[in-house]
Structures are given as C-alpha cells and as structure tokens.
Amino acid sequence: MRGIVEPRYLHEVEITTRIRAGQGDFVLFAITPPRQSTPTERLSEIARATVERLDHLDLDGLVLYDIDDERSRNPVERPFPFSPTIDPSVYRAEHLEAWRTPAIVYRAVGKYQREELRTWLTEQDPRRTLTVLVGAASSGTTPPVSLADAQALRTELNPELLLGAVAIPERHSRRENEHLRLIVKQEAGCRFFVSQVVYDLNAAKNLVSDYRYACETRGLAPVPIVFTFSVCGSMKTLEFLRWLGVDVPRWIENDLRHSTNPLAASLEQAQATAVELIDFCRRLGVPFGLNVESVSIRREEIEASVDLAARLTTYLRP
C-alpha cells in the first residue's frame, strides 16, 4: 500500500541523510563474514542467526569487515591464525538479504586488482551501501591499487557512494598527526571516519579535540567520527587486540585479569568509555556515531556485544 513505510526503511533514509548533512548520533553493529572454509549449507544458518540476534536492536546500519592478512604490519606471531573470510559484499547479497538497513562495507583495497575494484565501486547502490576504503597494512608493500587511487576511483565512478576512512587514536598518541591525516582524507571525499576499537579514552579524546580545532582553523565542518567498542572476555582476546595495534591501558588489563567475570567487567568498561566520549563530542560539537564490534565466535562474547549495543542505543534515542 502506498504511503506506508516499514521502520527499517526509515533508518535507511536517516543514516545516509545524516552523514550527508554532517550529522551523527547513529548506532551501528559490526560483524566479520564467515570463513571461506565454512560449508555452504551453514552460511544461511549463520546469517539467519545474526539477523535474529540483532533484529530487536534499534540499529541504523550494519558494518561488514573485509579481513586481510596483516603479517606485513606486525611480524609477531598472530594470536589467532589468519583465515580468509567470504567477501563481505557477496555475503550480504547472498545471505543477509533479510537485513534491510544500509551496510557500511569495508574494502581492503590492497587485495584487489584495479578492474575488480572499478567493477565493485560502479555496482554499489548509494542508497543501500556506504564504504570504508582501507589501505595496505604496511607502507613496505606495493599493492595493485593504493588508497589514494581507490578514493579517486570512487569519485570518478560513483561519487554518490558515501566514503569513509579509518581513524586510529593510537597512531595519534605516537605521532600526534592523525587529525591532519583525517583532514587530508576528508578533502579527498571522506564523509565519515570509523575508529579502531577504543580502549584508550584519552587517546580518543585527544584526537577528537585536535581534529575539531584543526577543522575550525581551516574553516571546515567536522564530519562524523564513529567510535568502535567491543567486549573482551579473555586474555587471549586482549592479546589479539594488542596485536592489531589497539592500546589497552594497564589498569584495564589489571581489571580484566583479576576480575572473577572479565566479560562483565569489559562490558561495563566499554559502556563507561562510550558514555564519556558521547559527552565529550557533544560538548565540542563534533558529530559522532557508535559502532559495536562482534568478531568473536564465542556465544557469550557475541551476546555481551549485543547487550552493549542495546545499552548504548539508549543514550542516543529520545
């Protein structure tokens, strides 16, 4: 019947409209597609379980990661062995068709040949898809397509496709120039940024502050920064986060290590960090979003991530 719009379509309009307007206050949930070795008959089951698990949440969108082998970035042995995953666009199209809010689809551009990337960018519907283009894991590699080339291709082939980029607070702590890197990416067409998992609150606040005042100096309006949060239920997971480059303050490690329930302690810590960042961004006038990441295969960690998303949603909904 004409005139009736299903609730999920309202979100489809909302998130793209808000990002185009430079506004934030949206909530996302991030997943990694199943491994390529997953039996075909299991893929639909996994997707159905994901949709059922998230259906009650008032989410504005889904994030689908594109995983690449990052050994060139970190020579230390990976805590969890790398296993290639299904292409996120293929997984979405063939198994997540029941999920009808937009999706932010990551693209690790170094994995693809130029024609592959050209085809993918051309085919994306800007009403349904946003993308985060990620460069090579290490400056020591020479991929077929550089991040700058990929950004230029997006501008040429599908300029309405909302483009995002990665923000790394930890890099800002070491080099104190991440805010300038964000501005360069913004000038190249990026309309939003998505952070790595945030554990170091001070690093995130420093980045937000420096970015906000650098924008003011240049006469730019800040674009939304989406802060990613996740739960950590074991020391092995904590070790993996550190391998990925996430800075976990010692006091948080001590809390988790000595807690009788590290998963519950991690959930409370993530919520507290998110709430403080929400207040800080609002005070500085920097638009923001929240993204809850669930990449664990352990049921209790997945359920804790869903709980975290439900809690954080209440801070943004009237």
CATH code of the domain containing 98: 3.20.20.220
Whether residue 40 lies inside any domain: the answer is yes
**42-56 pLDDT, tens per residue?**
999 999 999 999 999
Instruction: Record the pTM.
Output: 0.89
pLDDT value of position 80: 59
Whether residue 239 lies inside any domain: the answer is yes
Whether residue 2 lies inside any domain: the answer is no
On the question of pLDDT at 142 being above 80, the answer is no
Whether residue 161 lies inside any domain: the answer is yes
Average pLDDT value for residue range 138-150 = 80
Average pLDDT value for residue range 193-211 = 95
Band (pLDDT 50/70/90 cuts) for residue 243 is confident
On the question of pLDDT at 9 being above 80, the answer is no
Question: Domains in the chain: how many in total?
Answer: 1
- Domain enclosing residue 14, as ranges: 7-316
Whether residue 242 lies inside any domain: the answer is yes
Whether residue 1 lies inside any domain: the answer is no
pLDDT value of position 81: 62
Whether residue 285 lies inside any domain: the answer is yes
**Cβ-based neighbours of 92, under 8 Å, separated by 6 or more:** 64, 99, 103, 105
Whether residue 188 lies inside any domain: the answer is yes
Which of 95-104, 232-241, 300-309 has the least mean pLDDT? 232-241
